[in-house]
Amino acid sequence: MSTVKLKEIYKRFDETEVLHDISLEIKEGEFVVLVGPSGCGKSTILRLIAGLEEVTKGEVLIDERVVNTVEPHHRNMAMVFQNYALYPHKSVRENIIFGLKRAKVARDIIEERLKKAAKMLELEDLLDRRPSQLSGGQRQRVAMGRVIVRDANLFLFDEPLSNLDAKLRNRMRSEIRKIHREYKTTSLYVTHDQVEAMTLGDRVVVMRDGRIEQVGTPMDIFLKPVNIFVATFIGAPAMNILDARLYPGFIELEGQKIAVNNRVEKIFVPDSGKRINLGIRPDFFIDENNAEPGASLSRIENALIDIVEPLGFEREIDATIGSQHIKAKLDLRTTAGEGEKINLCFDMDRVHLFDPETGRNLACDAA
């Protein structure tokens, strides 16, 4: 399986620079997900690796070899797009093996690979159908089948699931994980969907405006976001970012004093009363009435509940404290209703302090 290295890549289309100083290494057999808002340059990176675009500056290496000028068909990779164009008049079988026949792969090898892929993707009973006789999810599986039979050393995925409905997307996510477990092909997967990024990636690369903001394991990125952008892009509902001030020993939020612990004390910056953004994930709040007795939690008092959304096992609450909104994901036991007040507890070890000017995570800066 291949390794990929991007070294200080810049890409300009006419006057517009769409990639700035992109450096990234993908290890053999690794599944890396590039995630970021639409237009941030994800597809461009994929296309540079595939050889469909040329870099303006920098180097693309595959298996330690610079491939800047190597033709796409000499790069031994396979790509899955969002719009998986299948041949409408060919059967599922023919669609899957078309590339192999064209490459004059021996018949028995074709059969063997087809069989394995069809089994893996549960397409065995559909091989004689035409694409028009398939559901959207089945068509996407055919497109996936066409890629995995190629025996490539590198898979590139460009938002392959974004045309599917939520249920199918979940299902295909599991399929893709299964394929990767089985074939162990080095993969680079592009999506704007942070759930796909978190569930599929061995490592996740978060991008914004042509730059890499953070690279790490999904848990690293979730628990230690380097800035407000990453913190609010990853995780749903998004992390609360609250205006507050930091003093020795406490944080002031809307006139309330919230005790801090050692960890936050250490972050402490020289000027007392400095404005900070306090970042707390909705998932990390606990209704004070349900907190473990004796747990050393901090709390925000008297948040006024505007909206309660019961979501089965969870209750999502929109509340107001002073002039600020807070979202909290609480459990079933919370009985407080709309118009009532609630005390929200949280563990100081789980919060983030950001610099409001730069957006940097002050704890990451300190580390």
Ligand X SMILES: Nc1ncnc2c1ncn2[C@@H]1O[C@H](COP(=O)(O)OP(=O)(O)O)[C@@H](O)[C@H]1O
Interaction of residue 44 with ligand X, rule CB under 6 A = yes
Interaction of residue 43 with Mg ion, rule CB under 5 A = yes
Interaction of residue 298 with ligand X, rule CB under 6 A = no
218 cis-preceded (ω within 30 degrees of 0): no
Interaction of residue 55 with ligand X, rule CB under 6 A = no
In the numeric block, which tokens belong to residue 97? 């093996």
Q: Which of 8, 12, 13, 296 binds ligand X (CB under 6 A)?
A: 13
Candidates 40-48, 127-135, 136-144, 325-333 — which segment interacts with ligand X by CB under 6 A? 40-48
Interaction of residue 43 with ligand X, rule CB under 6 A = yes
Rounded alpha-carbon distances, angstroms, from residue 186 to 1, 94, 161, 236: 6, 26, 19, 28
Q: How far is the CB of 131 from ligand X (least distance, A)?
A: 26
What residues form DSSP beta bridges with 57?
10
Shorter beta-carbon distance to Mg ion: residue 210 or 282: 210
What is the SS3 assignment for 107? helix
The torsion of the CA quartet 67, 71, 75, 80, rounded to 10 degrees, works out to 120
Cα–Cα distance, 62 to 92 (Å, whole number): 32
Q: Which residue has the tokens 């002073």?
A: 322
Cα–Cα distance, 304 to 317 (Å, whole number): 10
Candidates 38-46, 63-71, 181-189, 289-297 — which segment interacts with ligand X by CB under 6 A? 38-46
Cα–Cα distance, 4 to 186 (Å, whole number): 9
Q: How far is the CB of 43 from ligand X (least distance, A)?
A: 3
Q: Which of 6, 35, 42, 319 binds ligand X (CB under 6 A)?
A: 42
Q: How far is the CB of 156 from Mg ion (least distance, A)?
A: 12
Binding site for ligand X (CB under 6 A): 13, 18, 36, 38-44
Binding site for Mg ion (CB under 5 A): 43
